[in-house]
Structure formats: structure tokens, C-alpha cells
A and B are shown apart, each in its own frame.
Chain A
Amino acid sequence: MTEQNIRWNEYYRESQPAARKRVLERLLGEGPDDGADAFRKLLYKSRYTDEKDPGNEVDLFLYECVNLIQIFHMGRLFRKRAQKELAMTGQRFCLEAAEQYGPVGEEALYRELRNTVKRYFRTCTSSGYRRGTFGLVGSSAEEKKRQMVKDAWEMSTGVTRKYGREDAFRVWNRAVREELFSGDPEAEQLFRDYEAKQADH
């Protein structure tokens, strides 16, 4: 890991938008620009700014995690709509903009997306996450993990493969996989098993 990457660790570890803003502003003022500072500001703006209601605290990247699962489940009747929405998600993630900043831009994007996925995975441990049968039955930790792996596959490999956008979303797919695998070694096996099962369907 480069010195620049280590400098930004604090920013990418933090999950609360307000705290991240403070860290971002401090780090931008402190150190030398590695060429991706403007892009980090752009990512922050794209992720946390509600253009219609600037006072509203949002995490639009986090919403895209949920939205990508919905796009994955869209029927064939809505294929064009799904492709359009996937392209919009790509724009929201600033996938194309990252290319202008070269490898440092891609690294900044990758770390931002991992931060997003980490926040999503944290929500998967809540008591309300996918309760069974009309909300009557709570899920066990094991069931939650399996559901989380399913979500991770659908929001990354699943949806991008379904609509032929794996290459455009490669940074996103890598961020989801590596965040999932880093948290729990068993998750990697579950992910591979789920992927193999999907290929058989």
C-alpha cells in the first residue's frame, strides 16, 4: 500500500456521511494531491448530495446496492428499462469519470465502493433483514449470511452479467467481492457455490 493510500485509510474506514465529510476536508487541506483529490470530492458529492433536497441526508451509493438487486430481478418485459437504469447507476458511481484520473482515480473509486458495500453488509446483520414468512420469523445468523451472499452476487456479478456490462462495472464487482471475502472466509465459498448454482439455472 502506498503512502497516499495509508493517508486516506481513515476516510475510507469511516461510514457516517458527516464524519466522512470532516475527514475529507481535513485530508484535502493537509497533504499533497495524488491527482485524485478532485475525484474524491466528486465521488463524495455524487454519493451524498440529494440534488432535489440538499438538506436531506442521503447515501445514494447505498441505495444503488438495493436498486441493483431490483434491476437484477426485473423481468424480460422491462429489459430496456433495466439496461437504462444500470447505465444510470454506472453514472452515479462515476465509473466513466474515474477513467479520466487514471490508476489513482480507479483506486479512489474502488475504495469508495468498498466503503459503500461495507455499509450495506453491515445493514444485513440487523434484526429486520429479510425476516421469514410475513415478518413472523427472524433469520438466523447463518441464514442472514447466505442471504447477504445472494444479495452480493445479484448486485454485482449477477446484474452486470445479465445485461452484458461486466467490463464497465469491473471495479464495482471487484469491490463487492473483495469486501465480502475479506470479512468472512466462508463467504467466498458461499459466493462461488451460489454463482455455480446460478449458472446451472
Chain B
Amino acid sequence: MTKKKSVFSQELIIAILVIAIYLFIRWRNASFGNYNTLLNILDISYYYVLMGIGVTFPLITGGVDLSIGTGMICYALAGGYLIRFSGVPVWAAMLITVLFGVAIGAVNGTLISIMGLPPFLATLCTCMITRGLGSVCSGSFAIPWPTDTDPTGNGWFHSIFKTTINNDSGLYGALKGSVGALFPMDKRLTFIKAPLGFVWIILLLLLMQFILSHTKFGRYTIAIGSNKEATMLSGVNVKFYHVMAYVVCGLFAGLAAIAYAAYTPTVQPGTGAGMELDAIGGAIVGGVSTTGGYGTIYGTVLGVYVIMLLKNGLPFMGLNANWQQVITGTVLIVAVLIDIIKRRAMKK
């Protein structure tokens, strides 16, 4: 008979941790609580969160995708090149960017599920390939996507993530009143930027959590991570669903590429390595098991925000930006260790 039940699930603990970290940094430096700082953290977080949502699927199957960081840069470079030098409309370039991600995801899935390569090795190779491909696509030059003030109007895609609300809007007053109470903002502003991207993140979170828990695809993904052979003997087309987990990961890396292009003025070839660790680390912090078979999307999103707050809060605590790498690596080690210790403790 159960004596007592744990009130806190891992996800709830992480949610409390996010708030605690935010309040702690804000307590150490009041300017961390500014609306603009919050907006900046959200802007940076979009592409990490998108990568995190995507990589949750391979992680749940018991694998990993190390190519999402360099892949994201590669897709953004390809999309930017098409806009700048081939005259492709922005919407078409965005679509190609996402499809490029899907294609690399399918390659990863095929290598792992059909060819039988270990996920770590296969995606490490595609990580190198996408890094090289990015440079090939851009001719080793940095590629800027249109800015939000682009005179041709091509910068419209920025408004997907951040929209400007001016003082003619009734929404402006409501936002400035309620949001301003929590996150101080300049009272002289005649317009504010609303983090529309966060709304998309919430919607995607709900959609992907629904897919993971309530659809055949999601349930088979978890089943593969739980016991691949039993799932296969049950009659499930394991190879197909295993490939699909990587395709979804690639799709989200493609979406992350668009968010990245909207955030950064220019996309630099040769970058992106290490970004995947923030997304993977976030997923593990959020409770996704490193052996597969268990994980939630909301846990991943919260986990990524823990890392984002730690990384972006450091300069506000007087530590220089180089510490970001140290923090990311440490958080990842601690998260994996906690997962291993937890599993050992449960089985002892």
C-alpha cells in the first residue's frame, strides 16, 4: 500500500526552479527584471526551445540528434542565400529552410533506424556534414536575412516572433499596464514590442505534447524507447516511426533556423556547434530519460528556460559571458548524472 505520494513531479520542480532562478537573478540585479531584458531572453530562447522540442523525440526513442545546432545554421544560411542571391521570395525560402531540416532529419533517421548506425555517431557525422554544407551554401560568407526595417518589405517574417504595438492600439494600454507592473519598462515609450514568438512556443508546446501523448506516432515513439523489440514484435512499423522521430527533430531544427534568422543580423557559417547541447541539456533537465521511454514536451521547454536564464543571467551577476559555456556543460553533466542516479536508485 502506498504510504505517501510525492507531490512534486519533476516538471513541477523545474517550473519552480525557473521562477526561483529568475527571482534570484532579479534580486541580485534589478535591471534583469526589465521588460527589454525579458524580451531579449525570449528572443534568444525561441530557437533553443524549438530545437529542444524537436530533439525530445529522438531522445525518447533512446537516441540523440547532435546535428541540430550546425543543421540550424546550415538551413538558415541556405534560406538566406536563396533570398539574397536567387531572388526567392521570403515565404518560399522559409519553406525550403524547413524542408532542408526535414531532409536532414530523414537522413539521420535512415542512418540510425534502417542502416543501424549508433545515433551518437550518425548525427555527429551529419553535424559535420551540415557544418560544411552551410559554408558551401554561403561560399563561406556570412549571410544576412532581410532586417525588420528592410525597404523591400521582405523583413515581414520578423513579426512572426515579435510584433510592434503602438499607442493607437487598445492592446498597448493593457499590455503596458499589466506587463509593465511585473516587468518595468520605459514609461516614455510610445510603442512596445510584444513577444509574439512566445505565443507560438506555447501553441507548439501544446500541439506537440498532444501528439506525443495522444497520437499513434507519439505513443509508438515512446514505445520504441521503452522496448524496441517488443514494439516491433507487436506489429508496429518500428523503422518508419523511428525515422519519423528524427524527421520531426529536423522539422523543428528548420523552424529554429527561421527563429535564429529573425534574431541575428547575419548568419555566420561554421557556427552552431554546441547549441544543440543547450537544447539536449534542457530536455534532460526537464525530465526526458537518457535511456529513452519517457519524457514530456513541457518538461523540455521548462528545462531549456532553466539553461536560458542561467546563461543570460550571468552577466547580470557580474560574471563574463565565457562562463556561459561552463554553465551549460555543468548543467548538462549534472542533469545526466541525476538521470543515472535516479535510475539506479529506483532499481536498487
Contact = CB atoms under 8 A, between A and B. Distances in A.
B230 A65 contact: yes
Given A74-B213, A132-B290, A150-B347, A56 B235 contact: yes
Contacts of A128: 228-229
A76 B9 CA distance: 9
B36 interface: no
A70 B222 contact: yes
A132 B223 contact: no
Contacts of A56: 235
Residue of B230, B294, B346 ringed by the most chain A CB atoms within 10 A: B230
B275 interface: no
B286 to A, nearest CB: 13
A194 B347 contact: yes
Contacts of B292: 130, 135
Nearest to A53: B235
Contacts of A200: 3-4
Interface string A123-137: 110101111111110
A161 interface: yes
Residue of B6, B226, B294 ringed by the most chain A CB atoms within 10 A: B226
B15 interface: no
A65 B293 CA distance: 13
A61 to B, nearest CB: 9
Interface residues of B, number: 41
B264 interface: no
A81 B120 CA distance: 35
Contacts of A81: 213-214
Nearest to A139: B291
B227 A50 contact: no
A63 interface: yes
A66 B213 contact: no
Residue of B6, B9, B231, B234 ringed by the most chain A CB atoms within 10 A: B234
Given A67-B223, A130-B293, A199-B1, A62 B6 contact: no
A161 B9 CA distance: 18
B23 interface: no
A201 B4 CA distance: 6
10 contacts: A50-B235, A59-B233, A60-B234, A60-B235, A65-B230, A130-B292, A131-B62, A134-B62, A146-B348, A194-B347
Given A129-B228, A134-B120, 17 more contacts: A58-B235, A59-B233, A62-B234, A63-B223, A63-B230, A65-B230, A66-B226, A66-B227, A75-B296, A81-B213, A123-B227, A123-B230, A128-B228, A133-B336, A134-B64, A146-B347, A149-B347
